[in-house]
Amino acid sequence: MRVFITGGAGFIGSHLATRLIRDGHQVSVLDDLSTGSMANIAHLRDEPGFEYRIGSTRDLPLVTEMVDLADVTVHLAAAVGVRLIVERPIHTIETNVGGTETVLAAASKKNRPVLLASSSEVYGNSTKFPFKEDDDLVLGPTTHSRWAYACSKALDEWLGFAYMRERGVPVTICRFFNTVGPGQTGRYGMVLPNFVRQALIGAPITVYGSGEQTRCFGHVADVVEALVRLMQTEAARGQVFNVGNDEEVSILELAERVRRAAGSSSPIRLVPYEEAYAAGFEDMMRRGPDVSKLFTTIGFRPTIKLDEIIEDVMNHERSRQGRE
């Protein structure tokens, strides 16, 4: 199988590319390196069947060329990280919506299947828990740039289904819930790698808000397994899937578990949202997926528990700090 991955030098994209090459598939990746890194795919550069291009998903001729040569496209390229989203809402909307439309337009020329990455953010302020794929979406006001990302990813989904209905593009939507694992950077506000780094160097572990908000963290290996199965399952086309783990934890408890696993004496410091981001920043108190649809469609359930995820991220960070 020939797979084209946008955002292929990013965290999830590089793990997916590695898995596919290991399984004997041909992989091409496109990344503008705005948040991805060549270091993430350096180990693949000499592998048979792997190629990469540096460029934008908004470059229609380039994207069309790469989509045409692939059996399936996995569109992962997007603006990432809460801080970037709050500070650069124009970039967020243009990158997400513009890039997705370009990929779908290219796929429509030969009806190539597309696996389209979305986000748990689209559920917004919904209080119905756990989140199911057919739940209503409850977004905050347009005056808060916090919701620009959620809105852009929801629009990506609508675009995907519009291209499927009008132009026959086979589309599968994946809503990611806090994917974590070795190699993820905390540069863009990702909570677990930041906690681990802080604990290992003895710095204060910074928890935004009260710490009572809960999240579910899925290991990137589980996420990649789900993606590989979904891209090979025709019955998944035209559907939306939550992709993540359903083990819920408060952010304060996560900080405590990281500190304990590291044997660290780091204090845990609560930082008000207004200090971390901007006045009026909103966050949802609970965010967790119902992942039963994954099992009924592709026979998959996440297998890696949170303590193992923490250990994996910590071992990687220890190794990185040792190299530096």
The two structure tokens encoding residue 141: 């006001």
* CA 12 to each of CA 63, 81, 199, 238: distance values in angstroms, whole numbers, following the listed order: 19, 14, 24, 22
* Whether 149 is catalytic: yes
Cα(258)–Cα(271) distance, integer angstroms: 18
Helix H or strand E encompassing 72:
strand 72-75
**265 phi, psi to nearest 5 deg:** -105, 15
Question: Which residues sit opposite 218 in a β-bridge?
Answer: 179
Helix H or strand E encompassing 313:
helix 306-323
Query: Beta-strand (E) ranges in 98-255?
Result: 114-119, 171-176, 179-180, 205-208, 214-216, 218-219, 240-243, 248-250
- Residue of 52, 123, 149, 163 with catalytic role: 149
The two structure tokens encoding residue 169: 């593009």
* Active-site residue list: 149
